[in-house]
Structure 1
Amino acid sequence: MRNSSSIFGIISLVLASSVVHAANTEGNPTDLPTIKVSAEKKATYTAQKTSSSTGLALSPKETPQSVSVITRQQLDDTNAQTIDDVMGQATGITFNQLDVGGRTTYRARGYDITNYKSDGLAISGGSGFSGAGNSINMDLYEQVNIVRGANGLLGGTGDPSATIDLVRKLPKKEFGGSLKLRTGSWDKKNAVGDINVPLTKDGSVRSRLVVSTEDSDSFRDHENLKRTGILASIAADVSDDTTIGAGFQYEKSNMHGASWGTNVPIWFTDGSETHFSRSFNPVTNWSKAEREGKTFFTFLESDLGNDWKLKTNYAHTQRNDLSNIGLLKVNNKKGGGYTIWNKDGTGAFLNAFHTDRASTNNALDISLAGKVNLFGRQHDLMFGLNGSQLQETTYGSVCNLDGMSGCQIRQHNKLVDWRTWTGNEFGDFLYSRTGASTKATTNLLGGYMAARWSLMDDLSLITGVRRSYYNTYTNNYTVDGQNSGQSAKNSAHAWTPYYGLVYNFAENYSAYASYTDIFTPQSEQKTNGDVLDPITGQSYEAGIKGAWFNNSLNASLAVFKTKQKNKAVRDGNNHVLDDLTKNAYLQGTGRETQGFETEISGAVTDNWNVSAGYTYLSVKDQSTADREDPRHLLRLHTAYNLSDYINGLTIGAGASWQSYTLNTANPGRPLSDDKDTPLKVKGYALFDAMARYDINQNFSLGLNVSNLFDKTYYRQYGFYNGLIYGEPRRFTLTLEAKF
């Protein structure tokens, strides 16, 4: 028997500030242990409903697609503070890292993830030399919704990998707050304050302020991270039926010791492996990556009566991203060939570059959802309009580094000894704007509709369609601010259908199947300057889902297949219109992926939470020999409250395992016959552990240990003959006070 009174407030407050309550009800008898979840614990690793896939608020069992929700409880238990921490525990998601503090691409089902959202609105969330990814501060967010597979119905582009939706913390009606102090390995210093203040006695007007600040070193030499996150918001129930709200969000990160490309060579000139220490980091003292974002957002939710609701959401974001990078690395050298290190300390040259970018993004979503009665049955309908305009400005710069001309150099004239490297050998890196700039504008607008048709008591059909309009162009400005013309023009439009069928064949189980199209515009250019056609294709998925204890425990088994066409591939060593700074591309032969996933998440018993997922992936792609996605991937985290035995104690453990991948090293292993050396990068397993002790109802002390057995592994292996080490064993101690 199970009582589920107010299971917990994890449901994402998308477009509105609302408190979700589950009425007392008896659970269905199952073979699993009985479970009780109290309003005080809120200790669950799943959501009761999600609208991230179709726009319709459905339970996971009713959703015909793979959806994972990483809740605030799981984020706290795993001590997740960055988007990298989150992706490292998510089912089916891997990474491809090229830099430290720069380019990291997250992948799912054999494709790059390019769709990022915050509260359902498109954001520039990628982790690169510009984009929010490296500055995202998870202390500001309530949960993360991950839709695997194409999500073109709501997003406009049918990226076949996954869509990541970050849900902000928003005001609640009750007064309360917390203060967290974190410390640990490599002089970690982090403080997080979170306070919720009702501005009226009944909480109809309420506010929330979250502040996070950090100053921490790294296991790498010369590396330091300073981060700040602020989220201030207010919400008001202007009537019994309407809630409005607004807020401001600020996120900034400053990484000293960032790298451009892999920061440690794999081989010396004689072909032997380097085996450098994980702490070795040959960057200059002025090497840095600064990311800053400011967002103003508003939302409205109105109950129109007769089970119809109107929701609107708008956000305006301004970003500034600066990279000023210098390090010793393998790269092209003047006169041809590559700079390779020698064991005697010679062969290392400075590589440096500078970029200065700013962007503005405006995003809007308006939706109307409700119920209709037709043919004696009740159905769900939803209509919406959303879009975004992203303007990215790259400023022209002049740099002066010991005779350097331009703002990028792959081989400085000065030769240094990497064995005695201190980071001060090249002095200061001076730079300033010239007045010239380029401004790239991307517009994406679409209307969509979806419906869940109740065909029978246990059978529902979900249909949807979207009409998308896309265009992009770049304005080029001279040093005196004059527009010298447009380039890289591209436009496209497409219909994106969505079909899903869900059959509840037993009390706790459903079977489903879904289909949607793939449509993703590309910005890569051919040798003649023309932009490539959009990526197209199809995405299929089918599976079985289970839900128990009023949806507090969810499980799924899914098979999927994706066919993608027209994906850009590099056109050898050719360049765009003889512009040596831009690689030319061709329409690729396409990629097919297929596999299966299984996942379980939520509360197994009153005291036991679990999140576990396994993915098997098969990739067919004739355009590349690389297989950067592991065939097997396992994610697991579990936490158990031992209060029945030791009052106030919770313990947990986690594991992440992936099989080998195939990469290609360029320029290739020295003294090897192959110019590009194929590399089989062995898989690895990482283990985590946590413990938390509630000293009393107001104070708790927690310990997290990541990479418990101090496994040596690689975040990158092969890019420009280099590697990036993964993080060694790390300890984090957290003291939290609640009030």
Structure 2
Amino acid sequence: MHHHSSGSSALLGLITLALASAAAPVQARQPDAAGNTSSAPATLPAIEVSGQADEPTEATRSYTVPSTRASTGLTLSPKETPQSVSVVTRQQMDDQGMQSIGDVLGSTTGITFVELDNGGRTTYRARGFNITNYKVDGLSIIGGSSFNGGGSGAINMDLYDRVSIVRGANGLLGGTGDPSATVDLVRKRPGRALGASLTVRTGSWNKKNAVGDINIPLAADGRIRSRLVFSGENSDGFRDHSSIERQGFLSSFAMDVTDRTQVGLGFQYEHSIFHGASWGANVPAWFADGSPTHFRRSLNLAADWSKSDMEAKTLFASLDHRFDNDWKLRADYAHTSRADLNNKGAVKVNNGKVRWPHWKQDGSGAYLNAIHSETEGETDAFSLDLSGPLELFGRRHELLVGLNGSRMDEPSWTFNSSNCSIDGIAGFKGRCQYRTELPVADWRAWRGDEYGNIRAFRTDARRVTRTTLYGGYVAGRFELADDLTLITGLRRSVYQIHSDNYNAAGVRGARTGENAARAWTPYYGLVYGLTPTYSVYASYTDVFTPQTNKNESGDTLKPITGASYEAGIKGEWFNGALNAAVSAFRSQQKNVALKDGDSLTPDGDQAYRPGTGVTVKGLDAEIAGAVTAAWNVYLGYTYLDVGNKDTAERPDPRHLLRLNTTYRLQGMLRGLTIGGGLTWQGKTVSEPYPGRPDGHGGFDDSPIPLKGYALFNAMARYDINRHLSAMLNVSNLFDKTYYRQYGFYNGLIYGEPRRVTLSLQARF
């Protein structure tokens, strides 16, 4: 993190220049065509909104976008952006049957994951680090609990048009310069034409899902319009007595107040319940004598009452205005209410009164581990920016100034022996956690009902954590020469966090976890156009990432600091219909959170400690878009080298390849689309905790090499007529056995077996 003595005056000067430029008319440059916008049979009519970077992808049939604001806030084509940016479009999500954020990120260049349990908690990673910077419609979401390792299972992709992923630090817009990636989900928007679709899905493990999508103009000329999306699912999981209930709803309205002013208002609801959810690893990796367990993938050791419940409600609004001189003002606001409930019990390995009990082949050695926690959150997020062109030294440039921020109040309710028990038995050290207090007579006979449900009720005892992050920024795209562009910016961020603790009578006690930081975050990028097709670039930005991880005392760790470097070459063909990029990157971080063994926070979450630092370098390569009018492709490869490795597990493969492609057949087979995909990752290294049992009370914590694996998928869609289509998707085509987690608490989580989904879509 760099501290610039002249940063404040420089920022003020650039803001003044932007306001002066907004008032001065300039010659507007005509925008390029937005790409192929021909109406696709399987989508609603094309939706018109102002600004290339805001144009929906659902009616384009494309696997790429003509431009994006995700990296710097400036509207830039992929070739003009000095960072690695991937966009998963609506067409790609539809082709591959993606319904969760995990489906999307699991198909994206450079993104890996570690499942924390089978109840929707997943940590996503990029470039060797956890992803903690998430946005919806450009508004930052504070708190990893909402996505990273928390309620990511609640995200319903049926409500979204696309997902943009900026790999590398992106602190200019969000204030959190996370060197992994920034994930921005963009909602579906209302259009001017009447249209509707109904999609039903069925498949493996009794899958039942339906999605309704209705676009209704509320005025004859479409100046007032609405969009309603409904999504519901009730399906079993591949594990014993597991299932998922999922509901999603989006209601969005837009109105053209004038030809230059547009306002929007909407409400979104997402709710997911994972029944049969585990707590931590799903099954043990070894028996007490150190021999591997080799359990079947469908084995579920959760209690029949175990569940994870995640709910989010969001009210959002927007304002867009175009001035006569081609400058634009945009304002966005969102209020989100979130509630997460974990009521989990699973027969697994854990520590407690007996140090690290392990299962034995005779059925002994098992305990029911259980936990009950309830967390809520109220988040207010806003963004206000002004952007447009200006003329300096005979050349045309672009400038952006803005303010954004968010504040989250997150109460976490306290449960202990006074308001939590199982069959009258108190938990570990009086907490609402069970380790070895509930022995299981014979794990081989476990059916999930040996112990009753957790009996818990709220009191006023709680911890309320307030996290505030806001800042101002300025960015510009300056044409230094005919083919040389400087893209630079500066942000001033303010970060504050504290927790207030209340007892059962509602009396507030001592304030804890108080932390504050201020930082300047610079951004520098150079782009040189070699030819109309190719460009080379280099970029640098500081890393400043507030953390939500807490230590054993419940105090939040200090922010992560560091730097991120990137350089590469990009190309575009067919007027931007096909984009490609190759980049080299290097990131450095200090104060990275590491799991603090088996320590827990007062709320029962995993405790963390600050690490000494990590340096990561590697390569990214990606091709996305249309090779021909009928052939779409998304291909990404990542090479990763993690140096200065600390003691924490870093389950990142050195090599990762992602491929998705479709082809629309012609002639006698016209109407048929076929496609396939591949995820291949090289070997990884797992560091088990505490380690493989040696059969004599000790443990071998030597790193465990895990073989790489390849997962294939396939799809076929047939347009029966203009209004009806059928699609078949098969994931894990060859039914490969692989792991989503291995070694944590000496357990493992299997990946999903082969899954078959049949969809039928009607369009009106």
Aligned to 1:614: 637
Distance of 1:84 and 1:358 partners within structure 2: 23
Equivalent residue letter for 2:351:
N
Q: Tell me the C-alpha RMSD between the 2 structures.
A: 2.3
The one-letter code of the counterpart of 2:408 is L
Amino acid at match of 1:8: T
Equivalent pair of 1:388/1:443 in contact (CA under 8 Å) = yes
Partner of residue 424 from structure 2, selected from 396, 400, 403 = 403
Identity of aligned residues (%): 56
Q: Match of 1:31? A: none
Distance 1:21 1:364 in 2: 22
1:657 matched to 2:680? The reply is yes
Shift of 1:520: 1.3
Question: Partner of 1:665: helix, strand, or coil?
Answer: coil
Match of 2:445? 420
Q: Report the 3-state secondary structure (helix = DSSP H, G, I; strand = E; otherwise coil) of the residue aligned with 1:732.
A: strand
Look up the equivalent residue of 1:394 and give its one-letter code: S
Deviations 1:219-250 (A, max 9, x none): 10010100000000110000010000100000
Q: 2:308·2:341 contact (CA, 8 Å) conserved in 1? A: yes
| Unpaired runs of at least 5, structure 2 | 1-31, 40-46
Counterpart of 2:341, as a letter, is L
Letter in 1 for 2:392: L
Distance 1:7 1:20 in 2: 16
Change (3 A) 1:501 1:429: same
Please give the alpha-carbon distance, in whole angstroms, between the structure 1 residues aligned to 2:437 and 2:124: 32
AA paired with 2:502? Y
Once residues 305 and 135 of structure 1 are traced to their aligned partners in structure 2, the CA distance between those partners, rounded to angstroms, is 42
Shift of 1:429: 2.2
Question: Counterpart of 1:342 in structure 2: which amino acid?
Answer: K
Report matched runs for 1:30-179 at 5 Å: 42-123=60-141, 124=143, 126=145, 131-179=150-198
Whole-Å separation in 2 of the counterparts to 1:314 and 1:451? 24
TM-score normalised over the length of structure 1: 0.93
Asked whether the 8 Å contact 1:655–1:687 carries over to 2, the reply is yes
Moved more, 616-625 or 265-274: 616-625
Matches within 5 A, 1:411-490: 411-490=436-515
Q: Aligned residue for 2:286?
A: 267
Number of equivalent positions: 713
Inter-partner Cα distance in structure 1 for 2:719 and 2:556: 58
Render the CA deviation track for 1:458-484: whole Å, top value 9, x for unaligned: 111001000000000001111111111
Query: 1:13 maps to what in 2?
Result: none
The corresponding residue for 1:548 is: 573
**Alpha-carbon distance in 2 for matches of 1:109, 1:600:** 19
Q: Residues 424-475 of structure 1, C-alpha deviation per residue, up to 9 Å, x if partnerless?
A: 1112321111221110000001000100001122111001000000000001
Cα offsets for 1:349-404 (capped at 9, x unmatched):
10000001110000000000000001111100000000000111011232121232
Counterpart residue number, 2:713: 688
Preserved CA contact (<8 Å) 1:538 1:562:
yes
**What whole-Å deviation, never above 9, does each CA across 1:85-106 have from its counterpart, x for those lacking one?**
0011000000011211143110
Equivalent residue for 1:355? 373
Structure 1 unaligned segments of length 5 or more: list them. Answer: 11-15, 23-38
Name 2:405's counterpart in structure 1: 387
- Identify which of 265, 282, 296 aligns with 1:277: 296
Which residue of structure 2 lines up, in the alignment, with residue 35 of structure 1? none
1:222-621 equivalences in 2 (<5 Å): 222-334=241-353, 336-397=354-415, 398-405=419-426, 406-523=431-548, 532-569=557-594, 587-621=610-644
**Are 1:105 and 1:126, in contact at CA under 8 Å, matched by a contact in 2?**
no
Pairing of 1:647-726 with structure 2 (within 5 A): 647-671=670-694, 674-726=699-751
C-alpha contact (below 8 Å) 1:663/1:678 kept by paired residues: yes
SS in 1 for 2:530: strand
Equivalent in the alignment of 1:27: none
Quickly say closer, same or farther: Cα 1:462–1:288, change in 2 above 3 A: same
Distance 1:467 1:608, change over 3 A: same
**CA 294–424 in structure 1, closer or farther in 2 if over 3 Å, else same:** same
Which of 220, 240, 244 is the matching residue for 1:221? 240
| Counterpart Cα distance in 2 of 1:173 and 1:285 | 48
Cα deviation, residue 568, structure 1 = 3.4
Contact 1:144 1:166 in 2 (8 A): yes
Inter-CA distance 569–290: structure 2 relative to 1 (3 Å threshold): closer
Shift of 1:127: 6.1
CA distances 1:616-663 after superposition (whole Å, capped 9, x unpaired): 000013422633110000000000000334020000000000011111
- Going from structure 1 to structure 2, the CA distance change for 1:204 and 1:573 (only over 3 Å counts) comes to closer
AA aligned opposite 1:310? L
Q: Greater CA deviation, 100-109 or 489-498?
A: 100-109
2:36 partner amino acid: I
Q: 2:221 aligns with which of 202, 207, 223?
A: 202
Of 655-664 and 426-435, deviating more is 426-435
Q: Mark the CA change 1:126 to 1:477 in structure 2 (over 3 Å): closer, same or farther.
A: closer
1:638 paired residue number: 661
> Would the aligned equivalents of 1:383 and 1:448 in 2 still touch at CA under 8 Å?
yes
Cα distance in structure 2, aligned partners of 1:689 and 1:73: 15
The whole-number CA distance in structure 2 between the counterparts of 1:230 and 1:17 is 22
Distance 1:420 1:360 in 2: 43
How far apart in 1 are the matches of 2:551 and 2:305?
37
Q: Is the 8 A contact 2:58 2:161 kept in 1?
A: no
Deviation at 1:53?
0.2
Offset at 1:666? 1.5
Aligned-pair CA distance for 1:566: 2.2
Q: CA contact under 8 A between 1:215 and 1:225: conserved in structure 2?
A: yes
Distance 1:399 1:170 in 2: 45
| Deviation of the 1:534 alpha carbon | 2.3
Is the 8 Å Cα contact of residues 535 and 564 (structure 1) preserved in structure 2?
yes
Report if aligned partners of 2:131, 2:148 keep a CA contact under 8 Å in 1.
Answer: no
Change (3 A) 1:593 1:434: same
Give the TM-score normalised by the residue count of structure 2.
0.90
Q: Counterparts of 2:675 and 2:420 in 1: how far apart (Å)? A: 51
Contact 1:110–1:629 (CA under 8 A) maintained in structure 2? yes
Match of 2:28 in 1: none
Give, in whole Å, the separation in 1 of the partners of 2:38 and 2:257. Answer: 22
CA–CA distance in 2 between the matches of 1:538 and 1:728?
40
For 1:486, give the aligned amino acid: R
Q: Given that residues 103 and 127 in structure 1 are in contact (C-alpha distance below 8 angstroms), is that contact kept between their aligned partners in structure 2?
A: no
CA contact 1:114–1:126 (8 Å) conserved in 2: no
Secondary structure at 2:461 match in 1: strand
The Cα of 1:41 is off from its aligned counterpart by: 6.7
Question: For the structure 1 residues 608 and 365, does the alpha-carbon distance in structure 2 shift closer, same or farther, using more than 3 Å as the test?
Answer: same
Rounded Cα–Cα distance in structure 1 between residues aligned with 2:106 and 2:678: 10
**Aligned in 2, Cα 1:131/1:301: closer, same or farther, shift over 3 Å?**
farther
